[in-house]
Amino acid sequence: MTLWRIDTAAQTLVLGSDGGMTCCHYWGAPLALDTDLDALVAAGAGGITGGMLDALPPLSLIPEARRSFPGQPGLVAYRDGAPLEPEWRFEGADWGEALILRHTAPGLRLDIIARAMDHGLIALSARLTSDAPLTLHHLALALPVPPHLSHLTEMAGRWTREFQPVTTALDHGARLRDARTGRSGHEHPPHLWLTARGTTNTVGEAFALHYGWSGGHRMLVETLPEGRRQIQLGHCAGSERAPGTDFATAEIWLARGDQGLNSVSVPFQRAIRDRLPPARQPRPVHYNGWEAIYFRHDADELAQIAERAAALGAERFVLDDGWFGQRDDDTSSLGDWVIDPHKHPQGFGPLIDKVQALGMRFGLWFEPEMVNENSALYRAHPDWVLGPADQIRGRNQLHLDLSRQDVRDYLFDRISAILSAWDIDHVKWDHNRLTPWPDAAQTRGVYALLDRLRAAHPAVEWESCASGGGRIDAGILGRCARVWLSDSNDALERLRIQHHAACLLPACATGSHVGPRECHTSGRVLPMTLRAWTAAQRHMGFEMDPRELTEAEAQTLTRVTAWWKANRGWMMAGDIWRLDRPAGALAEMQLAADGSRLVIFAAQIETQTALQPPPLRLTALDPAARYRLRMIERPRGHPASVTAITRGEVVLEGASLMAQGLALPPAFPQTIAVIEGERL
């Protein structure tokens, strides 16, 4: 199967051919009944219209059990307890901003919607409507997988170790992933690649898919005995808990490239950047006090921390958990969104005045979807909890049922009152436990509440956090300008996490903070140079007690922060190009949108095997242009570790930098090289 194009102007959609399996070919002009479809597809166009409808199967991307398809069907539903196995008839297509392929069966309609996106992406979705209520177990779009795409790479992970790639060689049988945690998840974010053998960051064919839904998804990759393959994506099975007459998948975003993983990752970065809601420009340096004070809120201490953070270069001060109710630990007060009068007797006024006098804006933490049993809200409304009373607790809290309008109204009123009373320009929206079961209505309720708050407070920016990176997807990123990528501030872990997350996330949406000297989630002690430059690769911030810094650490952090501020304009609007390195090393290049500027971050994580590291081959440059490069951060290493770039500026052609590469000096582990470049 080859992914070609969707062109609404020419009324052309061609997704591919695999010898008769689920696929979609559509050509807007009438075709003769004797048209050779295989030849037409091979020539780069394909389709069915007009009189061909009676002679050919429906144009559906949903495999049908009733047609003796031996694999997993794309629709599993029940009406009055009996399996629903409709006989679909293709009724035609509607062209507009999207292509809608209409299918009908008695009492049912199925629409397949395809739209062209910028940056070469295609978005696919499905909508199922019924004249009478039915129970939906599973609805998914399916695409054929050609034999030469022999490997599947999924993202896996856990708390503090998100976005870890796992690659599987596709063979006979099925691989099923049913993400049932109620969010897109640390364990299985809804982004994956199909690749040809030998594909790396910079070479080889890749096909990327992303399911833009925050409530859990179901992925099936299946190889049938005769060799045909399909991949399905939809909501996790059983997440539509109530009978209904109208169901829809989220959009599947598709990209294909033949120049490595970058050729599908950069289009996704650009599409996500286009999707982000408006945000304050330039992007401000964050300070978040969570790992400095946790639940301990003391006015004098907060003022001292704010002064120190501002002196280091912070531009936004975010007050995290602990400001409300009687919140002295994680067992109390979630749901009671009223300022604690003991910790903040004059409300947020004195702290906001202090923060603004230091030239910073003020942000605040909420966890709207949750409730503690030790709270006024729970005592008044135990019926508002999602799930049974005897469910297993997580982080001493329960889920509120956001499918209920009265619950959403309560949360809107409480949160809106805080945002209206105080000068708050940023909200960190957290989500620290799993749902008791997957529930699509819960996710729709989260979207509805967030959309309503955004409309009522358009000047407020929103950040998505779910125990770190537990809810990162195109659905939430249409509502939040930033995501908190991980609760780990360990720079070595962060390097890996944010490097792999660049398959989807642009730098401007990816929060990355300089953590404490001794990391609270790993116990590691890492040099400030590595910690600061790791944060400077994304949307930069600090999250430590700044009073712990030595003078040397403060100087390094101030220097790197000043560099980030001077370069954030083009970096936050540019692309992240990951570079190929040996095991134990990571490197990436950030390139301005117009290609005029670049910066290279090359980290040595472990002791290198070879004495001299291989040259660093760049990518995406103009082969005919000349580039001036200079090293602004030299990695620690033996004094004799010298190459041309360590002696001063070098000027090389783009073709040479991409083919031969740049010689880096041998470096000690846990160090980083930073190289600036400009096109001459």
Q: Measured between alpha carbons, how far is 294 from 172 in angstroms, rounded to an integer?
A: 50
Q: Collect contacts of 10-16 with beta carbons under 8 A, ≥24 apart.
A: 11/95, 11/99, 12/45, 12/47, 13/47, 13/99, 13/114, 14/41, 14/44, 14/45, 14/46, 14/47, 15/61, 15/122, 15/143, 16/41, 16/143, 16/144, 16/146
The two structure tokens encoding residue 279? 């945000």
Which carries the bigger pLDDT value, residue 397 or residue 40? 397
Tell me: pLDDT of 23 over 90: no
Q: Answer yes or no: is pLDDT of 365 > 70.
A: yes
| Cβ partners under 8 Å of residue 82, min gap 6 | none
- Contact by Cβ (8 Å): 545, 553: no
| Residues 481 and 509: beta-carbon distance below 8 Å | yes
Range 542-553 average pLDDT? 98
**Burial of residue 225 (number of CB atoms within 10 Å: 0-12, 13-18, 19+):** exposed
**How many other β-carbons are positioned within 10 Å of the β-carbon of residue 383?**
9
CA separation for the pair 555, 544 (Å, rounded): 16
Contact 553, 517 (CB under 8 A): yes
pLDDT for 79 beyond 80: yes
The values of phi and psi at residue 88, to 5°, are -75, 145
Output phi, psi for 418, to 5 deg: -65, -45
Say which residues have a Cβ less than 8 Å from residue 383's Cβ, sequence separation at least 6: none
Residue 93: pLDDT over 70: yes
**What pLDDT score was predicted for residue 114?**
85
**Rounded distance, CA 512 to CA 349, Å?**
28
- Structure token digits, residue 397: 């809290």
Residue 533's H or E segment, with its range, is helix 528-535
Mean pLDDT over 130-155 rounds to 92
pLDDT tens readout for residues 455-465: 999 999 999 99
Backbone dihedral angles phi then psi of residue 533, each to the nearest 5 degrees: -70, -25
Q: What pLDDT is recorded for position 506?
A: 98
Relative orientation angle of helices 551-571 and 528-535, to the nearest 10 degrees: 20
- 211 DSSP β-pair partners: 252
pLDDT tens per residue, range 525-539: 999 999 999 999 999
- Structure tokens that stand for 642 in this block: 């010298």
Residue 380, judged by CB atoms within 10 A of its CB (0-12, 13-18, 19+), counts as exposed
**DSSP 8-state secondary structure symbol assigned to residue 375:** S
At 146, the pLDDT band (50, 70, 90 cuts) reads: confident
Q: Which of 18, 439, 487, 490 is catalytic?
A: 487
Task: Tell which residue, 39, 7, 2, 40, has the closest CA to residue 23.
Answer: 2
Q: What is the pLDDT of residue 491?
A: 98
Rounded-to-integer distance, Cα 580 and Cα 228, Å: 32
18 is catalytic: no
**Is the pLDDT assigned to residue 45 strictly greater than 50?**
no
Handedness of CA 178, 181, 186, 189 (dihedral sign): positive
What's the chain's Rg over C-alpha atoms?
26
**Whether pLDDT at 59 is above 80:** no
The arithmetic mean of pLDDT across residues 62-87, rounded, is: 87
Catalytic annotation, pick one of 430, 439, 490, 575: 430
Long-range contacts of range 127-132, CB-CB < 8 Å, 24 or more positions apart? 127/246, 127/247, 127/248, 127/249, 128/75, 128/77, 128/246, 128/247, 128/248, 129/245, 129/246, 129/247, 130/79, 130/244, 130/245, 130/246, 131/107, 131/245, 132/79, 132/107, 132/245
Q: Count CB-CB contacts under 10 A for residue 373.
A: 18
Per-residue confidence (pLDDT) for residue 172, from 0 to 100: 86
> Is 353 an annotated catalytic residue?
no
Task: Tell me the angle at which helices 528-535 and 491-501 cross, rounded to the nearest 10 degrees.
Answer: 20
Q: Which residues contact 461 (CB under 8 A, 6 or more apart)?
A: 277, 279, 280, 363, 425, 426, 427, 481, 482
CA distance 87 to 67: 9
Judging by DSSP bridges, how do beta strands 252-257 and 597-604 pair with one another? unpaired
Mean pLDDT computed over every residue of the chain: 90
88 or 334, greater pLDDT: 334
Tell whether the model's pLDDT for residue 37 goes beyond 50. Answer: no
Which pLDDT value is given to residue 60? Answer: 53
Q: CA 283 to CA 357: how far, in whole Å?
A: 19
Angstrom distances, CA of residue 423 to CA of 347, 361, 417, 460: 12, 8, 12, 9
| Per-residue pLDDT at 6 | 44
**What percent of the chain has a predicted confidence (pLDDT) above 70?**
91
Q: Is residue 555 very low, low, confident or very high in pLDDT (cuts 50, 70, 90)? A: very high
pLDDT at 58 over 80: no
Which residues are CB-contacts of 317 (< 8 A; sequence separation ≥ 6)?
287, 289, 306, 309, 355, 360, 361, 362, 363
CA quadruple 302, 303, 307, 310: dihedral sign: positive
Phi, psi of 135 (to 5 degrees): -105, 120
Q: Which of 187, 163, 167 is nearest to 493 (CA)?
A: 163
Buried b (16+ CB within 10 A) or exposed e, 195-215: bbeebebbbbbbbbbbbbbbb
- Kindly tell me the sign of the dihedral angle through the C-alpha atoms of 445, 448, 452, 457: positive
Name the least confident of 114-128, 192-206, 487-501: 114-128
Q: Taking a C-beta distance cutoff of 8 angstroms, is the pair 63, 224 a contact?
A: no
- Residues facing 104 on adjacent strands: 89, 109
- Whether residue 332 contacts residue 393, with contact meaning beta carbons closer than 8 Å, is answered with no
**Angle 278-562-317 from CA coordinates, rounded to 5°:** 55
**Coil/strand/helix, residue 563:** helix
d(C-alpha 576, C-alpha 598), whole Å: 10
The predicted structure's pLDDT at residue 390: 94
Query: What is the mean predicted confidence (pLDDT) over 250-262?
Result: 94
Q: Are 238 and 137 in contact (CB under 8 A)?
A: yes
CB 58 within 8 A of CB 102: no
CA distance 118 to 274: 9
